[in-house]
Amino acid sequence: MSKQRNSKLLLVEDSLSLAKLYQEFLSSMSVDVIHVTEGRAGLEQIERSDPDVVLLDLNLPDINGIEVLKQLEQLPHDPTVVVVTAMGTVNTAVEAMRAGAFDFLQKPFDAERLRVTVRNALQQQSLKALIKTYEDNFERDSFHGFIGSSIPIQTVYRIIESAASSRASVFITGESGSGKEVCADAIHTEGDRRNKPFIALNCAAIPQELMESEVFGHIKGAFTGASGDRKGAATMADGGTLFLDEIGEMDLALQSKLLRFVQTGTFQKVGSNKIEKVDVRFISATNRNPLGMVAEGTFREDLYYRLHVIPIHLPPLRECSSDILMIACKYLKDYSTEEGKNFKGFSKEATNIMVRYHWPGNVRQLQNIIRNIVVLQVGELITEDMLPALLSGIDDVKTVGPKQYLLDANQKQTDFQPVKPLWLIEKDAIEDAIEACDGNVPRAAALLEVSPSTIYRKRQGWTG
């Protein structure tokens, strides 16, 4: 028969006589007591033993109990803390509660008072464990930066949780706007490296000739304009996570250097002979098919297998149709608050249109549309007529160039237009948007519902 585990109680008390007395008072309970006499030893013991309850004296020889509570907040452990003090002032109690204590014992107290308090604290700890189990095993409607409770997105949450504490490389795929950076950030925040740096690098947004320096850094004089030493993303991410977004855009020469870095953790700054070693966890992402890139010869196969250890595929928004309204409501609330508007929800017709739409730009497109409506419209309910025509699919012609959609989604296009090649239409649309935004590329990208890196990449293609 399995024996039920005793609860663990850490007693942080510098007086040996008081510690012995409390231990005797608690001897009738099923509690294993660990005793330390100093605050720092208490924190170490919390990390080592993960106690259920901490009985913490406020006046300790090294650091006081309030400081222990503050440092405890930074640890992953979450014991229920009862503070013990002889001071007995209301201010001390309030300060301790603010710093995270569950209850407060004022000396002197009798055995029964101590046992009741410890029993309550253990009950509180059981409730916390129960809530955690519930959260871990049942549907969540948000997770780090994600919003949604549909089965495809729940699967993503589970993979992130399982992969977070590992050192294994993660490869995220998903359409543009599906939340690849949110996913990378969630993996970092959920894992043991959360207190270390998270460095994100968009391989498409940086000119190829500067990319090596961005990743590995350079030394003074390495190239024209290198007026001093500069740390690269590899150095800055030491101990933490390096996120390489749009990895498929990295050129082949740099891919071979990245391969060595991934394999050995070592690299050389541009212009330097010195080999440096760092501890970095790699997360890569692309909106393209990585195996397709390998087949095309634009992505090294060996690098692919190094990076593609734990694959995470982010579902497009249309596959999470039950989440669309939840996400829309969240952004509607946020943007209405930001813009000082009174929008409270969506009409039934507007909801139907939004749920039926295929959202090629995914969550980013949904965000932009909601923002657009909140800025330009007034009211409490978003109605069908406020939605851009492309959502209802009644005016596909107008969706050819974003310019028409941006300026007047309802105006019929009657003028004859000479037929242009598709790339030129795209170029015109992008340049018009940039001009309309006074040269601000990120703003133009937001209006065009693409990422800024897409614009940079396309512009590079036209000039190259």
Partner 1 sequence: MARKITELMNRQMLSGMEKEISREVLAEIIGSFIREVGEHLNALSESGNRQEQAAIIAEAHAIKSSAGTFGASHLHKVAGQVEVLGREGRLAEAIAAIDIVEDIAEKTIQTFTCEYIDATGAGPR
Residues in contact with partner 1 by CB under 8 A are 14-18, 20-21, 24-25, 27, 59, 86-87, 107-108, 110-111
Q: Are strands 103-106 and 266-268 parallel, antiparallel or unpaired?
A: unpaired
Spatial CB neighbours of 27, under 8 Å, sequence gap ≥ 6? none
> Least separation, in Å, of the C-beta of 69 and partner 1?
19
> Least separation, in Å, of the C-beta of 98 and partner 1?
22
3-state secondary structure of 247: helix
User: Could you tell me the sign of the dihedral formed by the alpha carbons of 340, 341, 344, 346, in that order?
Assistant: negative
Closest CB to partner 1 among residues 59, 351 = 59
Tokens of 415: 């003028």
Closest CB to partner 1 among residues 40, 457 = 40
> Least separation, in Å, of the C-beta of 60 and partner 1?
10
Closest CB to partner 1 among residues 104, 243 = 104
> Least separation, in Å, of the C-beta of 72 and partner 1?
23
Closest CB to partner 1 among residues 107, 132 = 107
> Least separation, in Å, of the C-beta of 37 and partner 1?
12
Residue 247 CB neighbour total at 10 angstroms: 27
- Distance CA(276)–CA(416), nearest Å, equals 62
Among the residues of 78-224, which ranges form H helices? 90-98, 111-137, 151-164, 180-190, 208-216
Closest CB to partner 1 among residues 62, 349 = 62
- Distance CA(305)–CA(178), nearest Å, equals 23
> Least separation, in Å, of the C-beta of 40 and partner 1?
17
> Least separation, in Å, of the C-beta of 24 and partner 1?
4
3-state secondary structure of 58: coil
Closest CB to partner 1 among residues 42, 290 = 42
Closest CB to partner 1 among residues 114, 293 = 114
What are the CA-CA distances from residue 156 to residues 166, 202, 252 (Å)?
16, 22, 30
129-132 CB contacts, 8 Å cutoff, 24+ apart: none
